[in-house]
Amino acid sequence: MSEPSEVRDVELRMELLKLWYGKNILSDKQWENVRKGIVEELTEVSELLRAVPLKWEDEPLPMFMPYSSDNNDR
């Protein structure tokens, strides 16, 4: 994990956790363990996404928006 975007993602997640739960809830060593867990999770997810074979014609699925007669303004 050496790319700047990956480092930024970890830092953003750490800051969100500290904002949600408070900085004093864990010790510095515990926060470091949380950081390691985030890095492991991002690494695992990245590897799984890279393993999905894609072709040039592959596109994202369209967003399905169910029709409701209550919403006539759409």
- Is pTM beyond 0.85? Reply is no
| Pick from 71, 9, 67: nearest CA to 38 | 9
pLDDT interval class at 28 (50, 70, 90) = very high
Mean pLDDT of the 25-54 span: 93
pLDDT at 2 over 80: no
**Spatial separation of the C-alpha atoms in residues 25 and 32, rounded to whole Å:** 13
pLDDT value, residue 64: 86
pLDDT value, residue 3: 77
* Residue 12: DSSP 8-state: H
pLDDT value, residue 48: 94
Q: What is the mean pLDDT of the chain?
A: 87
- Give the list of residues 6+ apart from residue 13 with CB closer than 8 angstroms, or none: 38
